[in-house]
Amino acid sequence: MCQTFLKGKDAMIDSNRYGRRDALRRFALAGGVVLWQAGCSQNVGQAITPAGAPVLRVLILENQKSISLSATVPPSVQLAGASQSQQLRFGSAGAVPIMLTATGWRIGSGSLPRGELHVMPAVDGSVFINRASYHGSFRLVPQGPDHFDVVNNVNIEHYLPGVLPSELFPDWHPEAYKAQAIVARTYGLYEAHTDGVGRYFDVYADQRSQVYNGIKAESAKSRSATLETGGIVVAFGPPGHEIIFKSYFSSCCGGIGQSAFDAFGDPDIPPLRAQNRGTCCAQSTKFNWPAVSIPKAELTRRIRAWGVWKKQSEKDLPPLARIDVMATNSLGRPVRFLVTDAHGGRRMFRSEALREAINTDANTGPKIFSSFCKTLDDGQSIRFIDGHGYGHGVGMCQWCAQSQAQGGWNNESIVISAFPGARLVRAY
C-alpha cells in the first residue's frame, strides 16, 4: 500500500501519485468531470515527455480574413474529410497569404473548396502563422462567408513551455515554474474534457484561459519545468478515484483568497475555497494598490457594454448611482456587490462579474486590479479604495508560489498548499 506524505514545506510525493507503470487505469467523462485512477510504481519523476500525452486544441486567432503562412520546410494542406493532401509551394516572397471567400479558400495563387482546412507541418515547429511558430498542426475553421478562426492542435506537453513564461516572470524560481506547470496542465485538461466537449477548440490562447504564445515564448526554464513534472496533475477525491478540477490561478491574492463559488458560482469543493495567505505575496506591487476613481457616467457605459457582451439586462442600465459591498467571505474579502441605479433599481453582482464589468471596454482608462477593495461614493465618481491583489484570487496565487519557492518549498508542496485537500496524481 502506498503511503502519503503531504505535510509542511518538505512534503514528499508518494509513488501512488507519481506511478507511471500502472498510471492510468481509467479515463472517462462522467457528469462533466474527468476521472483519473492512478496506481503505484517506483518509477518516479522522469524528465521525459510522457507517452499518451493528449493533444490540446488552442484557439490562437479569431475572426481572421487573411493570414500569412510561411515555413522552413514546406507543409501540406488538406480539407477535413478529404483523402489527399497537397504540399504548399512558396515563391520568392517566402510566405503565402491564405484567405476565405464565398467560393472557397485562396492559398497564394491556388484555391480549394470551402471547409475546415488543415495545415500539417513536414517538421514540427517549422510552420509560422503571421510570423509566429507553434508546435503541432493547425486547423482553419470557417466562421462566416469570409472569416475564420485558427486552432493549434498541440501536444499538451509541447503547449506548456509556451504558457509558463507568458504567465510568470523570467527570473522566477524553478520550483514556481514547476508548480505552474502542474496547475496549467490540470487546467488545460479539465477544459478539454468539459467546455471543450462539443466545440472545435479546448482553450483560448489568452487570459480567458491561460496565456499561450507558442515557441517564441519558450525558455530553458519552462521546458525543464514541463519535462520534470510530465503528466502530473492536481486532483481531489478518494485515493485511486481522484477527480481533476478547474485549477484556477491568478497573479496576487492580496493576502486573502476567495472561493471559486463566490467568484464564479462554481461548485464549492475544499481545494477551491477561500484561504488566508497573510503576507505571502507581499512582494507583488499589487499586494496593496492605491485608490482608483472612475466617473459614474463612465462606469454606466462600461457596465452597459458588459451587459451587451454577456447578453444581460445590464445593457439597459440606467445611470449608475452607487456601488456598495454587500457581503464578505469569512476572512473579510468582498464577494458580493450591490449596484444601485438612479431610478432605484438594484442589481447584485458576484465579485468577479463586477470587476469584469467595471473593466470592460476601459481602453486606456482606469481599471481596478481586483474585487478585493471597498467602494466610496465620491459625488460624480466612485472611488475604489483599500485595494489588494491582482486578479480573481482563486486557487494558486502566483506571487505566493514564488515566495514559497524562494523560502525552500518544492513544487509539490506549493501546489498542495494552494489547493488544500487535493493530491498530485499522474494522468498519463
Report the pLDDT value the prediction gives residue 415, as an integer from 0 to 100: 98
Q: Does residue 8 form part of some domain?
A: no
Same domain, 210 and 242: yes
Report the domain count for the chain. Answer: 3
Residues 142 and 167 in one domain: no
**Least confident segment among 1-5, 98-102, 122-126:** 1-5
Which one is predicted more confidently, 50 or 241?
A: 241
pLDDT given at position 88: 86
359 falls in which pLDDT band (50, 70, 90)? very high
Residues 38 and 109 in one domain: no
Over 50: is that where the pLDDT of 35 sits? no
CA distance 362 to 349: 19
Q: Say yes or no: 166 and 44 in one domain.
A: yes
Domain-ending residue, one of 118, 146, 174 = 146
Q: Which pLDDT value is given to residue 92?
A: 61
Does 193 share its domain with 334?
no
pLDDT band at 4 (very low <50, low <70, confident <90, very high): very low
Which residues make Cβ contacts (< 8 Å) with residue 176, sequence separation at least 6? 168, 398, 401, 402, 404, 405, 411, 414
Inside any domain, residue 223: yes
Domain contains 323: yes
Let me know if residue 278 belongs to a domain.
no
Q: Identify whether 71 is part of a domain.
A: yes
Residue 153, C-alpha cell as written in the block: 492542435
Residue 20 clears pLDDT 70, i.e. is over it: no
Query: Does one domain contain both 40 and 174?
Result: yes
Q: Is residue 72 part of a domain?
A: yes
Share of the chain above pLDDT 90, in %: 82
Per-residue pLDDT at 155: 97
Is 42 in the same domain as 108?
Answer: no
Q: Is 10 a domain residue?
A: no
Is the same domain home to 96 and 227?
A: no
Examine the pLDDT at 6 and tell me if it is beyond 70: no
Average pLDDT, rounded, for the chain = 89
Grid coordinates in use for 32? Answer: 462533466
Cell numbers that stand for 340 in this block: 444601485
Cell of 204: 483560448
- DSSP for residue 190: H
Same domain, 70 and 119: yes
Can you give the pLDDT at residue 212? 98
For residues 139 and 170, membership in a common domain is answered with no
What pLDDT is attached to residue 240? 82
**Residue-wise pLDDT tens digits, 370-425:** 999 999 999 999 999 999 999 999 999 999 999 999 999 999 999 999 999 999 99
pLDDT in tens, 321-339: 999 999 999 999 999 999 9
- Grid cell for residue 300: 454606466
Q: Residue 317 is part of which domain span? A: 292-385
Please give the residue that has the higher pLDDT: either 32 or 120.
120
- Cell numbers at residue 155, please? 501536444
Contacts of 76 (CB under 8 A, 6+ apart): 85, 86, 87, 88, 119, 120, 122
> Over 70: is that where the pLDDT of 221 sits?
yes
- Mean pLDDT score, 274-292: 98
pLDDT at 5 over 60: no
Total-model pTM: 0.87
Residue 47 has pLDDT above 80, yes or no: no
Lowest mean pLDDT among 40-44, 267-271, 343-347: 40-44
Q: Are residues 165 and 232 in the same domain?
A: yes
**Rounded-to-5 percentages of helix, strand, coil across the chain:** 25, 30, 50
Q: With beta carbons less than 8 A apart as the criterion, state whether 355 and 370 touch.
A: yes
Determine, yes or no, domain membership for 19.
Answer: yes
Q: How far lies 209's CA from each of 81, 301, 372, in Å?
A: 29, 26, 21
Could you report the per-residue pLDDT of 152-203, keeping only the tens digit for each? 999 999 999 999 999 999 999 999 999 999 999 999 999 999 999 989 999 9
Q: Cell numbers at residue 89, please?
A: 509551394
Q: Which residues contact 172 (CB under 8 A, 6 or more apart)?
A: 402, 405
Tell me the average pLDDT across 111-132.
Answer: 95
Q: What pLDDT does residue 41 have?
A: 31
Same domain, 340 and 204: no
pLDDT tens digit sequence for 64-105: 999 999 999 999 999 999 988 898 887 666 899 999 999 999
